Amino acid sequence: MAICCVCTLTKSAIDALRNVMAASEDAKYELREEVEFTLARLNAAARHVRHALQMYTRDSAACLRAGEEAVARQLITQKLLAERRADQIAIQTPA
């Protein structure tokens, strides 16, 4: 008849197993905190980029109305770069 390996563990082996399980829970908690911090940082960056997109759109339209096409082109270029950055943030952020 086979003996269950868990039943034959000594007190020190059982304590060691409990310590490993507790360490595993601590590691999961730390990883969860790190993920939440990273998501908060990415969300803040996304808000900043969205604000920049609105600013570039508004300012480039004002420059076009004022007849400053060269400045408007520069602002549109900056807007495109900001959109690219927003796409990168979206790729990094888990759904």
User: Going residue by residue through the chain (95 aa), what tens digit of pLDDT does each one get?
Assistant: 445 555 566 777 777 777 777 777 777 888 889 888 888 888 888 888 888 889 999 999 999 999 999 999 999 999 999 888 888 877 766 65
User: How many residues are given for the chain?
Assistant: 95
The amino acid that residue 83 corresponds to is E
The amino acid that residue 33 corresponds to is E
Using an 8 Å Cβ cutoff, are 60 and 79 in contact? yes
CA 64 – CA 34 distance, rounded (Å): 45
Look up the pTM and report it.
Answer: 0.56
Using an 8 Å Cβ cutoff, are 51 and 79 in contact? no
